[in-house]
């Protein structure tokens, strides 16, 4: 019995060293070697490009992050007949209109995760005139900036085009 117990302990230690330490270290090393930016959180000077940031006012492009609670992740799962959802959407649309932005469906509704870092090109172009006016830039310059930030579908056919709001706002800061 003692022999079997000793074998079980030795096998457990070997598998712990292989699968608990060596394999994760190898995977981490491969990730850092080939995908360093992604493996380290895709960080920039202003945050991660993988997490939606909160941008206020027409001076910056706004994303779909929930302005009520940017720390919360996950969808509220309100249905189309929810009175609370209707109030929130109406309030967001009114805020956008006051800032000179024509509301789009994506700008007035949250994303499924609550922290989506991307918007569609149409959402960015809807904000172009207000952003240009707030930053004393020409609308044409802002539209060219938007066009330069569009990322096409993966492999040319998977998904749709999008713009990372953090990267767009960092490019806008460099433009100003």
Cα separation of 106 and 112, whole Å? 11
Task: Tell me the pLDDT band of 69, cut-offs 50, 70 and 90.
Answer: low
Token pair recorded at residue 162: 């999008």
Q: Whole-number mean pLDDT of the chain? A: 86
Residue 49 has pLDDT above 80, yes or no: no
Kindly report, residue by residue over 110-141, the tens digit of the pLDDT: 777 777 788 999 999 999 999 999 999 999 99
Q: Are 115 and 73 in contact (CB under 8 A)?
A: yes
Per-residue pLDDT at 175: 83
Kindly report, residue by residue over 146-166, the tens digit of the pLDDT: 999 999 998 989 999 999 998
Per-residue pLDDT at 110: 76
Per-residue pLDDT at 75: 65
Q: What percent of the chain has pLDDT over 70?
A: 89
Kindly report, residue by residue over 72-103, the tens digit of the pLDDT: 666 667 777 889 888 988 998 998 999 999 99
CB under 8 A, 24+ apart: contacts of 87-95: 92/67
Torsion of CA 56, 57, 59, 61, to 10 degrees: 60
Q: What are phi and psi of 132, to 5 degrees?
A: -60, -45
The DSSP line for 95-138 is HHHHTT----HHHHS--SSS---EE-HHHHHHHHHHHHHHTT--
Q: How many CA atoms lie within 13 A of 107 on its CB side?
A: 27
Per-residue pLDDT at 76: 67
């Amino acid at each position: 019995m003692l022999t079997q117990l000793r074998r079980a302990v030795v096998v457990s230690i070997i598998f712990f060293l292989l699968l608990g330490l060596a394999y994760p270290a190898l995977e981490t090393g491969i990730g850092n070697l080939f995908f360093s930016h992604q493996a380290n959180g895709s960080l920039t000077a202003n945050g991660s490009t993988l997490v939606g940031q909160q941008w206020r006012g027409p001076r910056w492009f706004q994303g779909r992050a929930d302005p009520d609670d940017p720390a919360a992740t996950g969808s509220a799962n309100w249905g189309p007949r929810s009175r609370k959802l209707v109030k929130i959407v109406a309030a967001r649309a009114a805020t956008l209109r006051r800032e000179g932005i024509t509301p789009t469906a994506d700008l007035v509704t949250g994303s499924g995760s609550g922290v989506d870092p991307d918007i569609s090109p149409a959402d960015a172009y809807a904000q172009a005139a207000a952003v240009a006016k707030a930053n004393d830039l020409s609308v044409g310059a802002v539209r060219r900036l938007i066009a330069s930030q569009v990322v096409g579908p993966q492999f040319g056919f998977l998904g749709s085009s999008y713009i990372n709001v953090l990267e767009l706002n960092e490019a806008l800061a460099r433009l100003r």
